[in-house]
Structure 1
Amino acid sequence: MNKGIIIGIIAVIGVLVVLGVVLSFEKSDTMEVEDVLNKEITPEEETTPEIQDKLDEIEKINLENEYSPKPREWITSGPFQIDRSEYLLGEKIFVLIGGLNYDEKGQIVFLRPLNSTHYSVYWTIPFDGAKKPAFNYYLQPQLSKSNGYCTVDDFIGDWRVVFRGTDYPNLEFKITKDILPGEESNYQSVC
C-alpha cells in the first residue's frame, strides 16, 4: 500500500476518535432536576402518640378559629353608609360619606348601648359638604382605661349612628361578644 493512503486512513481514524471523545464530553443545554415540590415531606421516624395528640390539638384550634368576614351589606342613610349590620369585637366599622350637599354640615355620632333604652356617645365625626363632599372613615372600638371602656361588655349590643344637623334617619348595627381571631389580647379587661 501506498504510504499516503495509510496516513490518510490513520488520520481519518484519529479524527473519528477525537470526535467521539469530544461528543461524549459535550454538555447538554438541559438539566434533569428532581421534582421535589409535589413530594410530601415525611419524618424519618414515625410520629409518637404525644406528638400526634399535639398536632390534632393544633388542627382543632385552627378549625375553631377559622374566620371569614361577613360580606359587606352597605346600610345607607342619605349620603352615609356603614359596611355591615353586625361586627365582631376587633372588626373595623367602615363609614362612607359621598355626595354631601354644599350646605350640609353636622356630625356623625356613634352611640354605644348603656342598657336596652339608653346610649352614650362613643365617637363623633364632623362633616361639612362645603369643605369636603365625600370622604371615608373607619373606627374600631377599643378598650381604654382613661375613657372608661374597661371590658368588652362596654361595647356588646345594639349601636346607633345619628346624623346631627340633618334629617337623615339613624343607622343601627350590632357588636357581638365574639372576638376577631388574633385580637383577643386587645380585649382583656383594662380597669
Structure 2
Amino acid sequence: MKKEIIVAGILGVSIVIIILAVILTSSPKSEIIEVEDTLNKEISPETEIPEIEEKIDDIEKINLENEYSPKPREWLTSGPFQIDRSKYAIGEKIFLVIGGLNGNEKGQIAFMRPLNDTHYSVYMTIPFDGMKKDIFNYYVEPQISKTKEICSIEDIIGKWAVVFRGTNYPNLYFEITDNVVPGTNIEPEC
C-alpha cells in the first residue's frame, strides 16, 4: 500500500508538472518590445503658433533675398587683356583672359584694391611675357587675408582697378559689391 501511495503521489506530481509545462509553453511571453515607428511620421503641433509661423516666414524671406546667381559675363577689354564682369559679389572669382600678346610685350598685371576714393593698394600682380607665353587665363579671388592686411569685407568692397604695367593699355575697372556668395568666409581676421 505504501508503494501505491508513493507511485500515486509521483504520478500526481508528474501530471501537475506536465500540465504546468503545457500551459507555460502554449502562451509564451515574448521578450521583444514593440515600439511605435515614429521615423516616418510627420511631427506637427496640434495648434499653430503665430510666433513660430512668423519666424519661419522671416527665415524664408531672408533665404530668398540671399539667393545667389552670378551676373552675366560682359567682357571688359583693354588690348589683349579681358575680365569677365564689371561687378562681382564677395567670394566670386575674377576671370582674367590674356590672348594675343606680342612678343615684345612684357610687364605685370596689377590688381589694385581701393583704400579710399583716390588711393589704391596692390592686391596682387601677375607677370606676363609675350615671348614666353602669348595666351593664358588666370583667376583672382579677393578675400579676407591677415597677411595682405585685408581684415574685413569693408576692405574688399569698392571700385578696383586692373593696371597693365609695362604697356600703354588703359586700365580696367570693376566693382566688388556687398553681396556675398553663400559659403564665403566673411569673418574679420585682424
Q: With the length of structure 2 as denominator, give the TM-score of the two structures.
A: 0.71
How much has 1:176 moved relative to structure 2? 1.2
**What amino acid does structure 2 have at the position aligned with 1:190?**
E
**Structure 1 residue matching 2:62: 3-state secondary structure:** helix
Q: Is 1:95 the counterpart of 2:96 in the alignment?
A: yes
Equivalence for 2:116: 115
C-alpha spacing 1:49/1:173, structure 2 compared with 1 (3 Å): same
The within-5 A match list for 1:4-153 is 43=42, 49-50=48-49, 52=53, 55-153=56-154
Identity of aligned residues (%): 64
Q: Deviations over 1:73-122 (max 9, x none)?
A: 10000000001111111111110000111111110001111111111111
**What amino acid does structure 2 have at the position aligned with 1:105?**
K
Gaps of 5+ in 2: 1-39
Equivalence for 1:30: none
Equivalence for 2:157: 156
How much has 1:145 moved relative to structure 2? 1.3
Q: With the length of structure 1 as denominator, give the TM-score of the two structures.
A: 0.71
How much has 1:190 moved relative to structure 2? 0.5
C-alpha spacing 1:150/1:45, structure 2 compared with 1 (3 Å): closer
Measured on the aligned residues, the alpha-carbon RMSD in Å equals: 2.2
Equivalence for 2:187: 188
Higher gyration radius (CA): 2
- Paired residue total: 149
Q: Does the aligned pair in 1 maintain the 2:123–2:148 contact within 8 Å?
A: no
